[in-house]
C-alpha cells in the first residue's frame, strides 16, 4: 500500500512525462519514449482526472463555493504560469543533473 505522498509523487512523474511527450510531439513530431511508458503514464493521469472531475461535480452540486466572475479561472491560471516561469532554482533536478 502506498502513502498519499508516494501516490502524488507517482502522479507528478506521470504528468511530467506526458508534458515532455507533448513537447516532443510539437517540436519533433514524434515521441521519444517507448509507447508503453507513455501509455502507462496516460492511464495514471486519466484515473486522476476522473477522480478530480467527480469531486468537482460533487462540490458544484453542493454549492459550497461562491461563483467566480467570468474568466477568473483562466486569469488565475495565467498568473500561476507567470509565477512558475519566474521560478529560479539551483537544485540538481532543475539543472537537469539528477
The pTM of the full predicted model, rounded to 2 decimals, is 0.79
Which burial class, exposed, middle or buried, applies to 48 when counting CB atoms under 10 A from its CB (0-12, 13-18, 19+)? middle
- The Cα 57–Cα 49 span in angstroms is 12
pLDDT tens string 53-85: 999 999 999 989 999 999 999 999 999 999 888
pLDDT tens string 29-59: 999 999 999 999 999 999 999 999 999 999 9
Domain boundaries along the sequence of the chain: 4-85
Q: In which residue are the cell numbers 491560471 written? A: 77
Set of cell numbers at residue 91: 537544485
Q: In which residue are the cell numbers 511530467 written? A: 16
Amino acid at each position: 500500500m502506498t502513502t498519499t505522498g508516494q501516490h502524488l509523487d507517482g502522479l507528478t512523474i506521470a504528468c511530467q512525462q506526458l508534458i515532455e511527450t507533448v513537447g516532443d510531439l510539437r517540436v519533433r513530431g514524434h515521441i521519444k519514449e517507448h509507447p508503453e511508458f507513455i501509455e502507462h503514464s496516460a492511464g495514471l493521469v486519466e484515473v486522476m482526472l476522473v477522480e478530480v472531475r467527480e469531486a468537482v461535480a460533487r462540490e458544484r452540486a453542493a454549492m459550497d463555493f461562491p461563483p467566480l466572475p467570468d474568466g477568473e479561472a483562466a486569469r488565475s491560471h495565467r498568473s500561476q504560469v507567470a509565477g512558475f516561469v519566474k521560478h529560479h532554482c539551483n537544485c540538481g533536478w532543475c539543472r537537469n543533473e539528477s
